[in-house]
Chains A and B, each alone.
Chain A
Amino acid sequence: MSATPNAIDAITAPVSSPGEKFFPKFEVTPELTAKAQELVALYPEGKEQSAVLPIIHHVQEEFGYVSPEAMPWIAEMCKSTPIHVAGIVTFYPGIHRKCPGKFHFRVCRTIACALSGGEELLPYICSKMGVDPAEMTDEEPMVVSPDGLWSLEAVECLANCGFGPNVMVNDTLYSQVTRGKIDEIMAACKKELAAERKEAAAAKKEAAAARKEAKAAAAAAEEAPAPAPAPEPETKKPAAKKATTKKAAPKKK
């Protein structure tokens, strides 16, 4: 429809990612606003702008990334302007403007990890995820797998230099990672996903049963209220929010 956006319009040009299907779409709810207000209240009066990073973190946890629609809302919440929020969002590498996959891998490539083989892991993980390593550039170091399940980002120092290579998957740090360990981690992720899906399916079934029951009851009472809608499947549960309980503490040899 339109040509490539100019450098300014590109700030809010949507970047589609297969990872989006695992996260809800950004939406301002009373809960979200309340949370933002709570974060703003942590800072001295008149210093609402300080809450910009905390709010961004919260948005990212809930929705996976900071979408173009979120920026003006964030600005409003912390009494800033959209251009300043854009300045923050485009500055920090820890803030995503593109939705990561359900399982986001961050591979450290800085000196100590590089010495222990961190960079060599990247092509392997790419092949396992089914993404093209060439897509990872210095400017855009994150790639998302076509199924949206995985994303891979080359990052700088994770501050666990003695125990490289270090890889973070969502919130969990894995140290002294080998190819074999990558296989294990990815298998565990798949298992987690399967369990989640099963749980969701069970919840759905339960809801359906409840609905049926309610219907029957309604039929019996003839004037029962409409049944509550079934909870939505997995998309309700953002991956980042689920803290995997795997041991994070680094090991010493």
Chain B
Amino acid sequence: MSDITYKPGKEPHPRETRRIFRNIDREGYDPSIKCFMKDGGYETLKKCLKMEPADITNEVKKSGLRGRGGAGFPTGVKWTFIPKGNTKPVYLVCNCDESEPGTFKDRFIVHQDPHQLIEGMIIACYAVQAHYAVIYMREEFPEAARIMQNALKEAEAKNFLGKNIQGSGFDLQIVLHRGAGAYICGEETGLINSIEGVRPYPRIKPPFFPAAIGLYGCPTIVNNVESLCQVRQVMLMGGEAYAAEGAQRSPGTRIIGVSGDVKRPGVYEIISGSITYGELLYDICGGPRIGRKFKAIIPGGASAKVMRCDEILKDRNPDGTVREMTIFDVPMDLDSIAKFGSMSGSGGVIVMDDTRSMPKVLNNLNRFFAWESCGQCSPCREGNPWMYKLSTRICEGKGSPEDVDLLKSVADNICGRTVCAFGEACSWPTQAFTTKFREEFLALTKPINALKAHSAETAEARKFLTRED
């Protein structure tokens, strides 16, 4: 690594391990194929093309690589879900919708190192024998779309795409498909519907598990940008070597995006589980702004349940004794935080300090989810605007203490009853905020508000229930 220099002011933190982000902000590096190949790019692909596709899948399975889109499903296992004896075409879709608030890792890859993704995709396509692949890129990345389009052309010119790739007999076409600003397109079946050109409603599972019935009704593998880059990394390092590094159940490096109230927000690539939240926020990110204290952390994208920084978490040691800790002592792998009721998800850490009003933060999230609900299924379509209206009213000081319980209850009624995971994503913040920061919500309410009509319209409606004379 010593031969790599980074742009001034953009040097990686010493505790980082740059693998996927090796070329991000690197001095003299540009998104061209020339740059990428000078650095050993597409060599891994050439090696892979000489292997049996099933061996690549096995290698990825061996590596223990888990998806980086948020759900953390083992990538290699996902690939094996394509039905045995399938005769339909297989498709691979790269999910570059990066729409979970707090997550901003993929944008660097597609803007600065597109060929890394393309190489990873070709390897994955070869492994699952897909001859047609789609990069679904969010509309908010117009620059990246041009860069990626150009990179695809370059790769085709060098015969890394197209017919008979590098003489292997393997054909592959990759198409760039741009979204149009909808969060729900990050959900894999919503994304598939978006590519099909219908309203991007998520599909019901069962029966529409993409690996069995996906794009155009054919088996489809949907992988996140970072996951596909990690696939390349796995094939570069070898599955066993990859598995040996980092947390046992979620090996490899992770890219963490830190935003909010820290001195040095940004993206950092770390070995999974090698540091704790405390080390990340204090050592790498420089701690809270001057004179402030950390108050709350959303550990894995906007939909992850918020954690209180002063909350005592209890964990069990292997010998059965109980160990007390705070969020700062929790290691940054995919599973540790789940023990305490939240999730590490897509690696977007949002930090709030003691100047922040938690009801207002929740209200912002509720607006996001109310705006982004696709409206297909009843609980999500009707529940999200309700939660938003309730939290707005509480923030405006027009709520009653009962409204806080109602807010939580509405979230409980959505959670677990929807077509897709959006139901959980939208209800977890409300459940966690109203439980963990209940006092802040109650402080904004007044009992008298329970008797008030909350809008002109409801006031009118209530007239029918009261005698005026």
Asked if chains A and B are in direct contact (CB within 8 A), the reply is yes
Interface residue ranges, A against B (CB under 8 Å):
42-44, 47-54, 56-57, 78, 80, 84, 87-88, 91-95, 106, 109-112, 114-116, 138, 155-164, 168, 171-173, 243, 248-249, 251-253
Specify the chain B residue showing the minimal Cβ separation from A162: B265
Is A53 within 8 A of B180, CB to CB?
Answer: yes
A54 engages B177 (CB within 8 Å): yes
A-B contact list, 29 entries, CB within 8 Å: A49-B196, A49-B197, A50-B195, A50-B196, A53-B179, A53-B197, A56-B180, A57-B180, A78-B197, A80-B197, A84-B198, A87-B198, A93-B371, A94-B139, A94-B140, A111-B302, A111-B361, A112-B350, A157-B183, A157-B302, A158-B140, A159-B99, A159-B104, A161-B101, A161-B265, A161-B348, A168-B140, A243-B143, A249-B111
B91: nearest chain-A partner, CB-CB? A44
Q: Kindly specify which of B254-262, B326-334, B417-425 makes contact with the partner chain.
A: B254-262
Contact between chains at B146 and A243 (CB < 8 Å): yes
Q: How long is the Cα–Cα vector from A116 to B356 in the complex, in angstroms?
A: 11
> Which residues of B does A touch, CB under 8 Å?
9-10, 25, 89, 98-104, 106-107, 111-112, 132, 138-143, 146, 175, 177-183, 194-200, 216, 257-261, 263-267, 298, 302, 348, 350, 352, 356, 361, 364-365, 367-368, 370-372, 374
Q: Which of A54, A138, A172, A251 contacts B371 (CB 8 A)?
A: A138
CA distance A196 to B200 in the complex (A): 39
| CB–CB B140/A159 < 8 A | yes
Pair B200/A111 contact, Cβ less than 8 Å: no
A158 to B139, CA, bound (A): 9
- A51–B198 Cα distance when bound, in Å, is 10
- Contacts known (A156-B371, A249-B111, A253-B266); A91 close to B257, Cβ less than 8 A: no
Interface contacts beyond A110-B364, A157-B302, A162-B265: sample of 6 additional A-B pairs, CB < 8 Å, sorted by A: A47-B196, A91-B199, A111-B302, A161-B101, A161-B265, A252-B264
CB closest chain-A residue, reference B257 = A162
Q: Which of A109, A115, A173, A253 contacts B143 (CB 8 A)?
A: A173
- Cα–Cα, bound, A94→B367 (Å): 17
Which residues does chain A contribute within 8 Å of B298, judged by CB atoms? 111
Chain A residues within an 8 Å CB radius of B260: 111-112, 115-116
Residue of A nearest to B370 (CB): A138
Given A171-B142, A243-B146, A112 and B371 contact (CB-CB distance below 8 Å)? no
**How far is B265's CA from A138's CA once the two chains are assembled, in angstroms?**
29
In angstroms, Cα B258 to Cα A155, docked, is 21
User: 8 closest A-B pairs (Cβ-Cβ)?
Assistant: A94-B181, A92-B180, A49-B197, A94-B180, A161-B259, A112-B259, A162-B265, A52-B197
C-alpha spacing A253/B285, complex, angstroms: 10
Residues in A neighbouring B146, C-beta threshold 8 A = 243
Contact, CB under 8 Å: B101 / A248: no
Q: Least Cβ distance of A77 to chain B in Å? A: 11
**Are B356 and A115 in contact, with the CB atoms below 8 A?**
yes
- How many Å lie between the Cα of A34 and that of B101 in the bound state? 38
Q: A161-B257, A162-B259 are in contact. Are A252 and B10 (CB under 8 A)?
A: yes
> A89 → chain B, closest Cβ, in Å?
9
Given contacts A248-B111, A249-B111, contact A91 B182 (CB under 8 A): yes
The residue on A at minimum CB distance from B182 is: A92
CB distance from A140 to the nearest CB of B (A): 12
Within the complex, what minimum Cβ distance (angstroms) separates A59 from chain B? 12
Q: Is the CB of B216 within 8 A of A155?
A: no
Nearest neighbor of B10 in chain A, beta-carbon distance: A252
